[in-house]
Amino acid sequence: MSSLPKPIIFSFFSGSGFLDLGFELSGFDVRFVNEYYRPFLEAYKYSRSTMKLPSPEYDYHLRSIDDFVSGEHAADLHKLVEQSKAEALTGFIGGPPCPDFSIAGKQKGHEGTNGKLTRVYIESIIANKPDFFLFENVKGLWRTVKHREFYNEMKIQLEQAGYILTDRLTNSIEFGVPQDRDRILLFGIHKNKVGNYDGADLEQDFNWESRIRFSKSLVRDRSLWPHTDVYVENSKRKLPSILKAYEELTVEYWFKKNNVSNHSNAIHFFKPRQGLSKFESIAEGDDSKKSFKRLHRYRYSPTAAYGNNEVHLHPYKSRRLSAAEALAIQSLPKEFHFPPQMTLSDMFKTIGNGVPYLLSKGIAETVFEFLDEKVKN
């Protein structure tokens, strides 16, 4: 039984709260929520209401993170952080918008409108000195040479500010999410919380793999999974016996688990402007093209990215995925709902932007375990 007082979380770029939910349900106290886009923040509030979770003690903040770093609210944030640090271990979590670093994006990097927000988030950590932090972003920041240079520069600045760091390129499928989604995760702890400690110690003690349940290399072996089947609307198929151990990584498992047909967001999907011939011509499991990928019921989904004309089709229905089905692919609990007045574009954008729930929960539990065992409050 842990004796660690509930660590306090300040959340930035909160979206509709997928990352926060993992921390909320893993022993953390999410007290401060910052999101720039009103519809996402309203969805955050609505989902917490339907799940009967408390509102953040330090409130919801609808504004740019710049306001808390170099703007008029910088002093307010610093005061709240100091107040929290006097009470319990205090951390920042956030995944700045990432299309400027995405391999499939415009590759503007840290000079792009969204890319600049990564620097601002790092500046907010350095200015306020939370006890620990988590940074999440796309694999392009790690894998692309020009972006990796910027990433390493940010790490040097954090180390100079007193943080000890560890990072990992992580795939959500390792945590039981039915989705192939790589993300770079960076954890930092301020050295005044760990005494005579260095990066090698942190690499050894922060067990990134403690909540991993599936081998990424094994699960991503395409020979394990069915490839394509002829599309037949409302068809029935049995799970291949070879997939018994991996059933929970299939979209069909999550559709059933979340009872998606009876979810309040089941009716929320884009209707085709033209005939159904295009939807009916694509085989079940054919996700080879940029757009109009049809999922296979007994396979995991490609990355849940629903913008830039990328269309994901239901395995055995002649339509696009519903918001309820996309939430299931992001491994959200079935109790998570969007407000009915939210636009379809906003629903699918915030789903695509969000951190899969089981990934966030696994990482949150890993962070909590490390703080409980190694950190003096």
- Mean pLDDT over 22-26 rounds to 97
In 220-316, DSSP assigns E strands to 293-294, 312-313
| Chain mean position to CA 350 | 10
Q: What is the pLDDT of residue 314?
A: 97
- Mean pLDDT over 8-35 rounds to 97
- Mean pLDDT over 78-85 rounds to 97
> Is residue 112 scored above 70 in pLDDT?
no
Catalytic residue among 8, 9, 19, 98: 98
Q: What is the pLDDT of residue 103?
A: 46
Look at residue 70 and give its three-state secondary structure: coil
Q: What is the pLDDT of residue 104?
A: 52
Provide the percentage of residues in the chain whose pLDDT is more than 90: 79
Are the CB atoms for 280 and 235 separated by under 8 Å? no
Tokens at 296, concatenated: 């296979």
- Mean pLDDT over 286-310 rounds to 91
Q: What is the pLDDT of residue 309?
A: 77
> Is residue 34 scored above 50 in pLDDT?
yes
> Is residue 162 scored above 50 in pLDDT?
yes
- Cα separation of 250 and 246, whole Å? 7
148 pLDDT band (50/70/90 cuts)? confident
The domain limits of the chain are 8-216+357-374, 219-353
> Is residue 158 scored above 60 in pLDDT?
yes
Bridge-based pairing of strands 60-62 and 29-35 is: parallel
91 pLDDT band (50/70/90 cuts)? very high
Q: What is the pLDDT of residue 90?
A: 98
Helix, strand, coil content of the chain in percent (nearest 5): 40, 15, 45
What architecture (CATH level 2) is domain 219-353?
A: Alpha-Beta Complex (3.90)
**Which tens digits make up the pLDDT trace of 170-185?**
999 999 999 999 999 9
- Cα separation of 125 and 95, whole Å? 13
**Which tens digits make up the pLDDT trace of 332-370?**
999 999 999 999 999 999 999 999 999 999 999 999 999
Q: What is the pLDDT of residue 75?
A: 94
Q: What sign has the CA pseudo-torsion 294, 297, 302, 304?
A: positive
- Cα separation of 155 and 163, whole Å? 9
**266 C-beta neighbours (distance < 10 Å), count:** 15
> Is residue 234 scored above 60 in pLDDT?
yes
User: Closest Cα to residue 44, out of 26, 23, 21, 10?
Assistant: 21
- Cα separation of 336 and 265, whole Å? 10
CATH superfamily of 8-216+357-374: Vaccinia Virus protein VP39 (3.40.50.150)
- Mean pLDDT over 285-297 rounds to 93
- Determine whether 279 is an active site residue: no
> Is residue 373 scored above 80 in pLDDT?
yes
- Phi, psi at residue 287, to the nearest 5°? -115, 30
> What global pTM score does this model have?
0.93
Q: What is the pLDDT of residue 107?
A: 47
User: Closest Cα to residue 35, out of 8, 16, 21, 18?
Assistant: 16
Q: What is the pLDDT of residue 332?
A: 98
Q: What is the pLDDT of residue 124?
A: 96
Q: What is the pLDDT of residue 199?
A: 83
